[in-house]
Amino acid sequence: MAKKIEVRNLVKIFGSKPKLAVKRLAEGWSKERILKVTGQTVGVNNVSLAVDEGELFVIMGLSGSGKSTLIRCLNLLTKPTSGQILVDDENIVEYNKKQLRGFRQKKVAMVFQNFGLFTHRTVLGNVEYGLEVRNIDKEKRRKIALEALENVGLKGWEDKMPTELSGGMQQRVGLARALANDPDILLMDEPFSALDPLIRRDMQIELLEMQAKLKKTIIFITHDINEAFKLGDRVAVMKDGKIVQQGTPEEILNNPSNEYIEDFVKTIDRTKVVQAKNIMIRPNALVSIKDGVRVAIREMQANNISSVFVVGDKMKIAGIVTIDDCVEAVKNKRTSLQELLRHDYHKTTKDEFVENLLEDAIKTKYPIVVVNDEDRLLGIIVRTSILAGLLPNDSDAAECSA
């Protein structure tokens, strides 16, 4: 994937002597020592990162970690003290006022925690605002705004006033307003932190669904590790203005870089983070629908299992057969697998979270099948892996089919 954003050695100092603080940072002084001795506050300390086009990149950290300062640097609401911010290979830190205005109007949009809606404008009026500033024709901007509202699930609410909406709906309006300008980049500064837990969960799901459809480059700020790991393709964890570790949720979860990260991941509910694709394995045994009953029996005997999945053309899942049914078929001189197929197993997609598979795991007699949109078999998940919410280990692999 092409890099959309690249941050190189970014530093932000708050105070009247930023150059002095930058010099002390280079000498290895801590954030606390710089504040005590020089009175300068280090907001961002030598941060480097790259975000791919179409990636949902999450920056997380506790209050004071520098995450919100960093995201505000990315659209120059906060001017960095030093370093580079490359967007499509252009260093936006060097933009003049005209270039910066065009960048903010056309390429990047921001969604804030406090919604920031105009209470005297309707929902539609709020969404249209950015287009209005750009002098977009009234009819055209109405069409664009209505489409943006539909994308966030607010079709039919365009004539309401913000005060008539719940907190979650108001945040959807803020998101629609950002999307109406069709930005390449969406910056989201703790957008769900003021919402009730249930509404917050719904908004997380809706954001993932929207991202699957629109493929925006999103940088999302949060202090909640469960939210970070649920949403992020990759996650960067900040502390004292620095990035302590960055990687996929699975990489951070399984290989924390230090004690600080270890303490973070101890509190996480792994079932809300681990997805089917992380715990599925390739089955040792499979048979084709074209194979006969005796082939299925040999496959089950060779792998010491009591059932085996059956696939058709292009690995499309056809069903499952059991050893008892196959042995009975041989006794009755029946050779076709088609009439023995069972369908009392559960299927899921590779992006499903383990928490949503727990009930199926308790009920099922067989592994859960992971399929794509065309019903092609991608892998299977054994029950022990689901119930543990962990990646499969060697002992799980031995149970690979039934």
Query: The domain spanning residue 246 has which CATH number?
Result: 3.40.50.300
In this structure, the answer to whether residues 219 and 117 fall within a common structural domain is yes
In this structure, the answer to whether residues 121 and 191 fall within a common structural domain is yes
In a domain, 385, yes or no: yes
Written as one string, the DSSP assignment of 211-239 is HHHH--EEEEEES-HHHHHHH-SEEEEEE
Q: Which runs of E-coded beta strand occur in 191-306? A: 217-222, 234-239, 242-247, 287-288
Q: Which domain holds residue 360?
A: 277-397
Q: What is the pLDDT of residue 391?
A: 44
Q: What is the pLDDT of residue 399?
A: 38
Q: Which of 226, 246, 269 is the last residue of a domain?
A: 269
Q: Which of 269, 295, 329 is the last residue of a domain?
A: 269
In a domain, 1, yes or no: no
Judge contact between 177 and 105, C-beta under 8 A: no
In this structure, the answer to whether residues 88 and 175 fall within a common structural domain is yes
Which region, left, alpha or beta, applies to residue 241 given φ > 0 means left and ψ of -120 to 50 means alpha?
left
In a domain, 31, yes or no: no
Residue 113 φ/ψ, nearest 5 degrees: -65, -35
In this structure, the answer to whether residues 222 and 282 fall within a common structural domain is no
In a domain, 9, yes or no: no
In a domain, 21, yes or no: no
In a domain, 33, yes or no: no
Residues across the chain? 402
In this structure, the answer to whether residues 68 and 202 fall within a common structural domain is yes
Q: How far apart, in whole angstroms, are the C-alpha atoms of residue 205 and residue 138?
A: 32
**pLDDT (tens digit, 0 to 9) for every residue of the chain, 402 residues total?**
689 999 999 999 999 999 999 999 999 999 999 999 999 999 999 999 999 999 999 999 998 899 999 999 999 999 999 999 999 999 999 999 999 999 998 899 998 877 678 889 999 999 998 888 888 899 999 999 999 998 888 899 999 999 898 888 888 898 888 888 889 999 999 988 878 888 888 888 888 888 988 899 999 999 998 899 989 999 999 999 999 999 998 889 888 999 999 988 887 877 877 888 888 988 889 999 999 999 999 999 999 999 999 999 999 999 999 999 999 999 999 999 999 999 999 999 998 888 888 888 888 889 999 999 999 999 999 877 776 555 433 333 333 334
Q: What is the pLDDT of residue 393?
A: 36
In a domain, 257, yes or no: yes
Residue 400's closest CA among 374, 376, 369, 355? 369
Strand partners, 292: 336
Instruction: Looking at 181-311, list the stretches that DSSP marks H as alpha helix, in order from N- to C-terminal side.
Output: 197-214, 225-231, 249-254, 259-266, 276-279, 293-303
Judge contact between 284 and 401, C-beta under 8 A: yes
Q: How far apart, in whole angstroms, are the C-alpha atoms of residue 243 and residue 45?
A: 8
How many independent structural domains does the chain possess?
2
Q: What is the pLDDT of residue 253?
A: 87
Q: What is the pLDDT of residue 389?
A: 54
In this structure, the answer to whether residues 228 and 372 fall within a common structural domain is no
In a domain, 242, yes or no: yes
Q: Which of 244, 269, 294 is the last residue of a domain?
A: 269
CATH number at residue 292: 3.10.580.10
In this structure, the answer to whether residues 287 and 264 fall within a common structural domain is no
DSSP 7: E
In this structure, the answer to whether residues 211 and 304 fall within a common structural domain is no
